[in-house]
Amino acid sequence: MVFLDESEARKVANLYGLRITGIIGILMRAKSEGRIMSLQDELDKLRNEAGFWIDDKLYNRVLQYAEE
């Protein structure tokens, strides 16, 4: 497992047929496995403390999917 957050790295991963999961996907999995209690809390921390931009539509869709 490699953690990268840049478009060039994603392009290279695609060239090699590697599966790509973003931070939101990792958090969704953590929620489903019971590793975090609240996906919304973690997404809010990303937005408010780390300056991570998340589109409002995606934010709401992810929370709806996670039943939060």
What are the domain boundaries of the chain? 7-65
Residue 1: the pLDDT is 73
Residues contacting 8, CB < 8 A, separation 6+: none
Tell me the pTM.
0.81
pLDDT in tens, 11-54: 988 999 998 888 999 999 999 999 999 999 999 999 999 999 99
> Can you give the pLDDT at residue 22?
87
Q: How many Å from the N-terminal Cα to the C-terminal Cα in the chain?
A: 28
pLDDT at 55: 95
